[in-house]
């Protein structure tokens, strides 16, 4: 079945780095645009980053620009989020999601999320 499974979350000190992964299965990952979306504890949804199917023209929320990098390895059906210079306000559940259309649209498949906690 169509599935996204995130991994790589954990507890990290402020200023450190973490790399999240999202393994895709059940659909053609190499033709799918993808997102990272996060949700701070008790808060709403926040779009973090977008990457098209071929990895070009990536976009980021201002809150993470210059610190986070979205990437993908189509041969491995995997999406990544490299998070550097982490701050307390980056604490959240991080979801990967598939774009419904293959361009910027809405998100029709979601993973269950991985929790990132930034704390000293």
Partner 1 sequence: EIVLTQSPATLSLSPGERATLSCRASQSVRNYLAWYQQKPGQAPRLLIYDASNRATGIPPRFSGSGSGTDFTLTISSLEPEDFAVYYCQQRYNWPPLTFGEGTKVEIK
CB of 114 to partner 1, least distance (A): 11
CB of 86 to partner 1, least distance (A): 20
CB of 15 to partner 1, least distance (A): 25
Decide whether 3 or 17 has the Cβ nearer to partner 1.
3
Residue 77 and residue 117: Cα distance in Å, rounded?
Answer: 26
- Whether the CB-CB separation of 64 and 50 falls below 8 Å is answered with no
Decide whether 12 or 111 has the Cβ nearer to partner 1.
111
CB of 96 to partner 1, least distance (A): 10
Binding residues vs partner 1 (CB under 8 A): 35, 37, 44-47, 50, 59-62, 95, 100, 104-108, 110-113
Decide whether 47 or 53 has the Cβ nearer to partner 1.
47
Decide whether 17 or 106 has the Cβ nearer to partner 1.
106
Give 24's strand partners: 4
């Amino acid at each position: 079945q169509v599935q996204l499974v995130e991994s790589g979350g954990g507890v990290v000190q402020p200023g450190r780095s973490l790399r999240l992964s999202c393994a895709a299965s059940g659909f053609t990952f190499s033709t799918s645009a993808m997102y990272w979306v996060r949700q701070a504890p008790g808060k709403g949804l926040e779009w973090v980053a977008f990457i098209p199917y071929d990895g070009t023209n990536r976009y980021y929320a201002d809150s993470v620009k210059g610190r986070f990098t979205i990437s993908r390895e189509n041969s491995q059906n995997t999406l990544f989020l490299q998070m550097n210079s982490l701050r307390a306000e980056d604490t959240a559940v991080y979801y990967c999601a598939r774009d419904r259309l293959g361009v910027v649209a809405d998100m029709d498949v979601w993973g269950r999320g991985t929790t990132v906690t930034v704390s000293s």
